[in-house]
Amino acid sequence: MKTISTENSHGGTQGVYLDRSDACDCDMTFAVFLPPQAKARKLPVLWYLSGLTCTHANVMEKGEYRRLAAELGIIVVCPDTSPRGDAVPDEADNWQFGKGAGFYVDATEPPFVQNYRMYSYVVDELPKLIAAEFPVDMDRQGIFGHSMGGHGAITIALKNPGRFGSCSAFAPISHPSVSGWSKPAFRKYLGSDETAWRAYDACSLIEDGHRFPEFLVDQGTADSFLEEGLRPEELRQACETAGISLRLRMQEGYGHSYFFISTFMEDHLRWHARRLGD
């Protein structure tokens, strides 16, 4: 693991690191915030998954999580959103696919199968590295994210309920198998058999019997992607049918940007802290 940078912040340390990923067959960059309490003991860890076109840097620079994470004693890990590098296949003119748009799936279709294995990277490979290099209490893990990252957080929690004590999302892509901006990516990554897509679709996973105790979701009413891309009402219906507690908060006048995310970041951090406490 290579340290790219470290900065003091709120008594803790915001670091950016690089490591070679076997899952993605390339170098991957990620950010880790260590609150001041990490100098003395292991702390709970909160994974933040970013959205389309983003890297680790978007939430690190605009998410405004460090002050409260330092107060609460929570380590925050921010992975990248896709494999990177000149050798990684991409569609440079398509912001909804390729670099920056890994959708947290393990691709099965060439030429993407070699690199686009973000599910395995986030669920298996990166946690092992974080556990080896940082003072994390792996028995206390939470996960949250934005948009594509909200989709990733909810699907990963549903598939790994014994690992995570909490899950929340900002404007998640709730039903990517039917959403116009995610269906083409699923087809290219996972093939034309849509039954294979269900393993990475929150609504489908719930329909197929996967469960998680509760979710917190914030969604802006002025989000331009609300009806076509995000479809929160379909997640609400799936959770109600399955008996899953979903707190869906429709935030009047808010859009899809980090102005929205940073406004409600403290609510989400406190939600996770209450569920990851001693």
How is residue 250 written in tokens? 């429709």
| Dihedral over Cα of 163, 118, 238, 252: its sign | positive
CA distances from 70 to 168, 170, 173 (A): 19, 21, 29
How is residue 246 written in tokens? 């979903």
Q: Return d(Cα 74, Cα 227) in angstroms, integer.
A: 34
DSSP 8-state symbol, 191: -
> Which CATH superfamily groups domain 2-276?
Alpha/Beta hydrolase fold, catalytic domain (3.40.50.1820)
Percent of the chain past pLDDT 70, that is, above it, reads: 100
pTM, two decimals, is: 0.97
pLDDT (0 to 100) of residue 30: 98
Kind plus residue range of the DSSP H or E element containing 88: none
pLDDT (0 to 100) of residue 202: 98
Kindly tell me the burial class for residue 245, based on how many C-beta atoms sit within 10 Å of its own C-beta (0-12, 13-18, 19 or more): exposed
pLDDT in tens, 15-68: 999 999 999 999 999 999 999 999 999 999 999 999 999 999 999 999 999 999
Nearest CA to 77 among 157, 173, 161, 145?
Answer: 145
The ranges of the chain with pLDDT < 70 are: 278
pLDDT (0 to 100) of residue 190: 98
Q: Return d(Cα 22, Cα 115) in angstroms, integer.
A: 9
Query: 102 CB contacts (<8 Å, ≥6 apart)?
Result: 81, 82, 83, 116, 118
CA distances from 276 to 46, 59, 103, 141, 270 (A): 9, 21, 26, 7, 10
CB atoms within 10 A of CB 4: 11
Question: Mind telling me the catalytic residues?
Answer: 147, 223, 256
CA distances from 137 to 3, 132, 143, 159, 170 (A): 22, 11, 14, 20, 25
